[in-house]
Amino acid sequence: MKNTTTTLKILKELLFRNILNILFFLLAIFFVVILKKTEIGQVEVIFLNVGQGDAILIQQGNYQILVDGGADDTVLYELAKYLPWYDKTIEKVVLTHPHADHINGLLLVLKNYTVGEVYYNPVEYPNLAYEYLKDTYNDILVEIKSGDVLEYEDIYGVALYPFEGEKIQEKNVNNSSVVMLFVLNGYKVLLMGDAEAELEEKLLDYTFLEGIDILKAGHHCSRTSSSISFLSFTQPTVAVCMCGIGNSLGHPHYETLEKFEKMNVQYFVTYRDGNIRFRF
């Protein structure tokens, strides 16, 4: 009898101790989850190596902006490396212009993620993917124009082109690219889409572009972009060329890389350097 009472007493004590342990464990998990949710974390920009094409992810915590989506499904694999596993929402998407190497991958992103809005410049251009985008996602398409702002915590993005109120149908659709300046925790990141020298010239009135930190150089570092006058004006510290290895256009053109070297601009090329990530 005495033995049974002692055993019961020990069992009771063990149970009591374990209940406390279990409670403590649950409480710890609760705090970890809550803290993880409230911690916003650093802001980052990642130039995704999607072959010949652009796909640029800007994110802070659970908030993402994706500028272009590359030419194929590579973007899905690259995004999965950086987005939190539980996050299937991309808040904002920007399509700079409807060329295949910018829009095709975006359609797959739209299929696989919940997207808040797709900002674009509604130029006319014969491309099936573009037609599909306009037909299928009309409810989330938003026309973007200079002065429009995308903002969240340490992310401040402003559209510089197309100009508000200006309706120009460029023959060369590269020069209809949406140009965005992002200020990420104070650092200036200029995304040129496929803008060439003609469009660069139109931006020379924006004095706040004098001295930027990162330039996503226009049109995959083609010789027709990143003019001397634009580079002298913006004085980027770093330039990024988004190119696929052995691409048929020969990007990046050596003339552009030479200009970077002459002007002391450090440059990265996605096919050589892979995903290029900056955290601020």
**Interface positions with Zn ion (CB under 5 A):** 101, 194
Q: Look up residue 221 and give its two tokens.
A: 């570092």
Instruction: Give the nearer residue to Zn ion in terms of CB position, either 220 or 259.
Output: 220
Instruction: Give the nearer residue to Zn ion in terms of CB position, either 101 or 154.
Output: 101
**Least Å distance between CB 185 and Zn ion?**
28
Instruction: Give the nearer residue to Zn ion in terms of CB position, either 59 or 222.
Output: 222
**Least Å distance between CB 102 and Zn ion?**
6
Instruction: Give the nearer residue to Zn ion in terms of CB position, either 236 or 244.
Output: 244
Instruction: Give the nearer residue to Zn ion in terms of CB position, either 44 or 194.
Output: 194
Instruction: Give the nearer residue to Zn ion in terms of CB position, either 68 or 154.
Output: 68
**Least Å distance between CB 190 and Zn ion?**
16
β-strand partners of 63? 60
How many helices and strands (H and E) does the chain possess?
8, 14
Q: 217: closest CA among 244, 248, 189?
A: 189
**Least Å distance between CB 52 and Zn ion?**
7
Instruction: Give the nearer residue to Zn ion in terms of CB position, either 44 or 101.
Output: 101
**Least Å distance between CB 118 and Zn ion?**
18
Provide CB contacts within 8 A for 8, sequence distance 6+. none
**Least Å distance between CB 105 and Zn ion?**
12
**Least Å distance between CB 194 and Zn ion?**
4
As a whole number of Å, the end-to-end CA separation of the chain is 70
